[in-house]
Amino acid sequence: MRPEDILPHRPPFLLVDELWDIVPGTSAKGRWRLSGEEPFFGGHFPGSPTLPGVLMVESLAQTAAAAVLADERFTGSLPLFGGIDRARFRRQVRPGDTLDLEVTIDHLSGRGGKGQGRASVDGQLACEASLLFVVTRC
Residue of 102, 131, 129 whose CA lies nearest to 114: 131
CA-CA distance, 113 to 100, in Å (whole number)? 22
Helix, coil or strand: residue 38: coil
- Reply yes or no on whether 44 is catalytic: yes
Burial class from Cβ neighbours inside 10 Å (0-12, 13-18, 19+) for residue 37 reads: exposed
Catalytic, out of 44, 91, 94, 118: 44
Q: Are 116 and 51 in contact (CB under 8 A)?
A: no
Active site residues: 44
